[in-house]
Amino acid sequence: MTKAAGKGGRSGARSAGAKTARGKAKPPARKPWGGRFDGATDPAVERFSASIHFDKALARHDLRGSRAQARMLGEVGLIPAKDARALLRGLDQVEAEIERGEFPFDPALEDIHMNIETRLRVLAGPDAAGKLHTGRSRNDQVATDLALFLRDAGLATEHGIHQLRGVLLERAREHVDTLLPGYTHLQRAQPVRLAHQWLAHVEALGRDAGRFADARARIARCPLGAGALAGSTLPLGREQTARELGFEGPTRNSMDTVAARDGALEYLAAAAIAMVHLSRLAEELVLWSTAEFGFVELADAYSTGSSLMPQKKNPDVPELVRGKSGRAIGNLVTLLTVMKGLPLTYNRDMQEDKEPLFDSVTTLRDSLEVMAGALATLEVRRDRMAEAASDPMLLATDLAELLVRKGIPFREAHEVVGKIVGHCTRNRLDLRALTRADLQGFHAAFDAPATELLDLERSVESRSLAGGTARVRVLEALAEAEADVARALARLAPEQRP
C-alpha cells in the first residue's frame, strides 16, 4: 500500500466530507438503505437520484396507502395492535405537519416514502416505524401511490373539462342566431351559426372527458402486496387493503403490477389530445381577436399589453395555451421513450414517470381554467361576424345543389358553378347581382335571378340533417349537450376530493 493510499487520500473513492477538485468540502454522504452496503452514496449520486422535490406531490396518497398497510398488518397479526395504533397516530401527525407546511422534507432521504418513514421513527418510535414496511417494497408502494394519484387527477381533470364545456354551452346558447363563415384551409367556406361552431368544441372536449373516464376504469386493482416483483411469503391481506383504498380487488400479476406504467401513459395520452383540442380552440380566439377578423375581443383580464406599443392588446392567454400543448405532447413522448426498452420488472428509469405526469396534470388543469375564464368573458362582435357571413361566395355550394335537385349530376353542377364564381371574380361582380339570363348563360336549368336563389338565412336553415347548422338542429344539440354536462357534473361531484 502506498503512503497516499494508506492515508486514504488518493486511491479509491473519496471519503465522506472530502474536498472536491475546486477545494470545497462535500457534504457528508449518506449510507444507502439496508445492510448490504458498507460505503456511503456519493453526494452527486444523491442529488442525481433524489426525487423528493417532485414526488412529495404523492404525500397524501402515500399516507393513504400506509394507513391501509398499517391496519392490515395489525389485523392479520403481523405486527402488534399497539404498533398499528402508533403507526396510524404517527401518520395522522405527518399529514397534519404537511398540511401546515411544517414537515421537515429532507432531500438526503431521497423520496417521499423514506421521508415519511423517517419522520415516523420520531413520531411513532423506531420499532413501530420499522414494521410498517413489512411485506411491502417501494415498488408496489409507489405503484399504489401512483394509482391513487391517477384516480384523483383523472376525476379532477374530467370535472374541469365538463366545466369548460358548460361555459361553451352558455355562450353557444347566447349565439344561436349569430352567423359567421365556417372555414376550411382558413378560407371562407359556408355560413354557420356561432353556436354550431362552439358546439363542435363541446363535442371534442366530451370525447376528452370520456378518455379520462375510460383510463380510470383500468386503474381498478390495487398494487399493494405485489412486493418488489414476486409477492410475499407473509400472509398479507391484499383484499383488505384493496377494499380500504377503493379498488375492486388486488392486481392479478405481481410482475406486471410493478412493471406497468400504463395508467400514467393513458393519462398523458389523453392530456396531450385534450391540450391539442384546447390549442385549436385557442388558435381560433387568437385569429378572431385580430383586427383582420375582429370577431371577438378578449376581456382585459385575459389579455396583456405591449412593453413598447401602447395600442396593443395581445391574446396572451390563448397563445400560452396553444404553446403549452407542446409540453403535454412532449411529456407523453418522454414516458413512452422511457418505457419502450425496459425489461420486466421495475427499473430505476421509471422514476422518470412522475415529472412529466405531474407537469401535464398541472398544465391541463390551468389551461382548462383560463380558457373557461377567457370564453366566459370575451365580447362577441356580431356585426363583424354578420358582415363576413354576408359574403355571397359562401352560398356557391347552394347554387350547385340547386342544380343537383333539378337532376344535374353533381360533378357537372360543380363545374358550372365554378365557372360562375370565376366569372364574378375576374369581373369583380357580386354573385347576387347575376340575373336569370346571366345564370342561364352558364346553364339553362337556372330559372330565377341570384337574388331569389341565394339567401343567407335560408342557406343555414336548409342544412337540417342531423348534426347540421339549422336552428332546430343546433337547439337539439345544445339541449342534449347541456343534459350530458349536467349528468357528468352530478356524477363526479360526490367523487371530488377537497
- Residue 32 grid coordinates: 444507502
> 296 pairs with which residues across the strands?
380
Please state, in angstroms and rounded to a whole number, the distance separating the CA atoms of residues 73 and 143: 19
- Residue 343 grid coordinates: 425489461
283 contacts 325 by C-beta, under 8 angstroms: no
Q: What is the DSSP letter of 345?
A: S
As annotated, the active-site residues are 185, 306
Burial class of 172 by CB neighbour count within 10 A (0 to 12, 13 to 18, 19+): buried
Please state, in angstroms and rounded to a whole number, the distance separating the CA atoms of residues 48 and 108: 11
Evaluated on CA atoms 264, 267, 269, 275, the torsion sign reads negative
**Rounded to the nearest 5 degrees, what angle is found at the Cα of 289, between the Cα atoms of 287 and 294?**
100
Q: How many CB atoms lie within 10 A of CB 131?
A: 19
Nearest to 144 by CA among 49, 231, 250: 250
Backbone region of residue 80 per phi and psi (left: phi > 0; alpha: psi in -120 to 50; beta: other values) = beta
Give long-range contacts, CB 8 A cutoff, 24+ apart: 244-249.
244/67, 244/68, 244/71, 244/72, 245/64, 245/65, 245/68, 245/144, 245/148, 246/151, 247/147, 247/220, 247/221, 247/222, 248/220, 248/221, 249/220, 249/221, 249/222
Q: Where are the beta strands (DSSP E) in 343-428?
A: 379-380
- Residue 204 grid coordinates: 371534442
Nearest to 496 by CA among 86, 101, 153, 102: 153
